[in-house]
Chain A
Amino acid sequence: MRLLRRHFPSRRVILIVGLVAAWCALWNRLSIANIVSGLLVAVVVSHRSVGPAGIGGVRLRPLLKLGAIVGQDLVMSTFNVAYEVITPTDYTEEAIIGVDLPSNARAHMMLIAVAVTVTPGTAVIDVDPDTSRIYLHILHAERAEATAEHVQELADLACRALPMPTDSEVPS
């Protein structure tokens, strides 16, 4: 049982379930053969030596909050871009700002980058993994402070939603 838990931590189980669901959706049919073959593929793909490390846990409430904020940002950014396109005068004043993230956000850079890019008027240009400093391009320079705060909040939520295990818990 402990061996099972060590090799299948909760995040990997969720990943496997999601991959099997996607596999069945792409085959367009829910059958025993599809589930078994999907399980085989998912277990191989989610292994440490192949894909991303499925280690660490998942906390549901911060994850849901992160999803809600990202969804809201997605809608807001559409209105933002639509407003800039429709109004004839150009209010955009571009700037590239650097935002310092907490150092444990390094493991979630991909998630944060996607979440930030859908935030209204921002996009990730570059990431410095050593200092975990992230460079954003923003459309409205006067909202730089608010944007930086929003991004730090997103990074904080991502760290709380997907906590990385301490070194002693990582199976070697």
Chain B
Amino acid sequence: MIASIALIVFGLTFVTAGIRAAIGPTLADRVVALDVGVVSIMSAVAVDAADTGSTRLVPVLAVMAIVGFTATVAASRFIEYEERAT
């Protein structure tokens, strides 16, 4: 019951992040919205671990944290580089 409520709320967060990613207006806004989306999915996986008490999915969290960070850094470098090239 509680896990379902928490999952729905994280889903709402994901939806708001998706709206921000869709409307922009700058590229950096979209990138940070995707970052928030990744963190909300990570939290949802953690809620599942709290619900079932199993740690099978926790390594996925480590991978998502690292991939999300790398993606954001790459995107921000891209934003700076793109502006300089034009």
Contact = CB atoms under 8 A, between A and B. Distances in A.
- Touch test A–B (CB under 8 Å): yes
B77 to A, nearest CB: 15
Contacts, number: 3
Nearest to A28: B55
B9 to A, nearest CB: 14
Interface residues of B, number: 3
Interface string B27-68: 000000000000000000000000000010001001000000
B83 to A, nearest CB: 15
Interface residues of A, number: 2
Nearest to B62: A26
Interface in A1-55: 26, 28
Contacts of A26: 59, 62
A10 B59 CA distance: 30
Nearest to A27: B59
A28 B62 CA distance: 13
Closest 3 CB pairs of A and B: A26-B62, A26-B59, A28-B55
